[in-house]
Amino acid sequence: MTTRILVTGGAGFIGSHLVDSLVEHQSNVTVFDNLSSGSREHLKLSITAGNCHFIEGDLKNSDKIENALRRVDIVYHFAANPEVRGVDPGVHFYENQMVTFNLLESMRKSGTKNIIFASTSTIYGEALTQPTPENYGPVLPISTYGASKLACEAMIASYAYTYGMRGIILRLGNVVGARSNHGVIVDFLRKLKQNPDSLEVLGDGTQSKSYIHVSDCISAIAMIVAQFLKSEMRIDAYNVSSTDKVSVRRIAEIVLEEAGVKGQIKTTGGVDGGRGWLGDVKFMQLSNQKLQRLGWKERYTSEGAVRQATRELIRQV
């Protein structure tokens, strides 16, 4: 039987790659997206292939999302404001927390039971244990973005236990690859277009984090969901990232290498101990041992993911 799936934010970076994979595996997919950061162009192949229907809509419109949820088996909730820095906290509240509440309420009313939620590594804040496992605590995010995502996790867990739903929390590392329109690689490529002789790095350059190529991210999600749907668990969480990490200075070096320019790397020194911005988690490395126990293994290391993504994004930016 064909699985009927709704993907919120399905025209965005990660969401559109997810839609391509779901359509390829014969799922019947409806994409719900307000196109604030996504693009219909990302869905061209899936819509042409069939089994993919697009609805332009905003999750703040409860009536529209309730109509979209009719006869849906699984919701992949990937709609959010993805920018961590320089954003009014009210944006994170309305675009992350409020829309997740609206979605959960609509699911409750429609009887849709399964939700797969794209959360983030930033919910861990400045974790004292690295690599950081899923059961690390207390989780104390240092950005309003991370706080909003953690609030969404809590709401999903409460609806699962109160209203008989089931949920998977995907705590994503830094996902990179084609179709991305924000993040460090895109920022660096845009800066080099303006000035190929000098590449500014926010912070002191020592910040280091886990990165994962979007193709590895999608294969991990597929394995997690397949395992979860066979289980009796009501709620579960997985880190989705490569095993290692890479520094922002090394990312700058890779971007220069792949762009074929010899610009000088200049760090700004940063704020609050060398961070790129207030709320920037300086060091983040996720443990993916739980994911690996399912049999998953990444194709790319963090550095390899950055290099492959840079090659893809040079053609795009």
Q: What percent of the chain has pLDDT over 90?
A: 92
State whether 171 and 258 are in the same domain: no
State whether 145 and 247 are in the same domain: no
For residue 293, being part of any structural domain is answered with no
Mean pLDDT across 104-117:
97
pLDDT tens digit string along 181-202? 999 999 999 999 999 999 999 9
| b (16+ CB within 10 A) / e for 266-304 | ebeebeeebbbeebbbbebbbbbebbeeeebebebbbbb
Mean pLDDT across 4-8:
97
pLDDT tens digit string along 130-179? 999 999 999 999 999 999 999 999 999 999 999 999 999 999 999 999 99
State whether 156 and 277 are in the same domain: no
Whether residue 20 is predicted with pLDDT greater than 90 in this model: the reply is yes
For residue 292, being part of any structural domain is answered with no
Paired residues of 309 in beta bridges: none
Residue 165: how many other CB atoms lie within 10 Å? 22
Q: Report the CATH number at residue 60.
A: 3.40.50.720
Please say if 145 is a catalytic residue. Answer: yes
Nearest CA-CA partner of 236 in 166, 312, 152, 291? 166
**How far is 214 from 141, CA to CA, in rounded Å?**
24
For residue 291, being part of any structural domain is answered with no
Q: What is the per-residue pLDDT for 85?
A: 77
For residue 290, being part of any structural domain is answered with no
Q: What is the per-residue pLDDT for 3?
A: 87
The pLDDT confidence band at residue 83, using thresholds 50, 70 and 90, is confident
For residue 294, being part of any structural domain is answered with no
Q: Report the CATH number at residue 269.
A: 3.90.25.10
Residue 253: how many other CB atoms lie within 10 Å? 15
Q: What is the per-residue pLDDT for 260?
A: 96
Whether residue 2 is predicted with pLDDT greater than 80 in this model: the reply is no
Overall domain count for the chain = 2
**Amino acid in position 225:** V
SS3 per residue for 130-159: CCECCCCCCCECCCHHHHHHHHHHHHHHHH
State whether 20 and 141 are in the same domain: yes
For residue 29, being part of any structural domain is answered with yes
State whether 105 and 170 are in the same domain: yes
Q: What is the per-residue pLDDT for 87?
A: 72
For residue 43, being part of any structural domain is answered with yes
Mean pLDDT across 84-91:
80
Q: What percent of the chain has pLDDT over 70?
A: 99
State whether 171 and 197 are in the same domain: no
Q: What is the per-residue pLDDT for 86?
A: 67
State whether 272 and 219 are in the same domain: no
> Which of 221, 240, 259 marks a domain boundary?
240
180: tokens are 């991305």
State whether 306 and 233 are in the same domain: no
State whether 200 and 129 are in the same domain: no
pLDDT tens digit string along 22-64? 999 988 999 999 999 999 999 999 999 888 999 999 999 989 9
Q: What is the mean pLDDT of the chain?
A: 95
The pLDDT confidence band at residue 1, using thresholds 50, 70 and 90, is low
Whether residue 81 is predicted with pLDDT greater than 70 in this model: the reply is yes
State whether 191 and 159 are in the same domain: no
The catalytic position among 76, 124, 136, 145 is: 145
Write out the residue range of the structural domain in which residue 224 sits: 4-175+211-240
For residue 123, the SS3 value is helix
Q: What is the per-residue pLDDT for 296?
A: 98
For residue 18, the SS3 value is helix
pLDDT tens digit string along 213-265? 999 999 999 999 999 999 999 999 999 999 999 999 999 999 999 999 999 99
For residue 289, being part of any structural domain is answered with no
State whether 84 and 24 are in the same domain: yes
State whether 123 and 195 are in the same domain: no
Q: Are strands 174-176 and 246-247 parallel, antiparallel or unpaired?
A: unpaired
The pLDDT confidence band at residue 88, using thresholds 50, 70 and 90, is confident
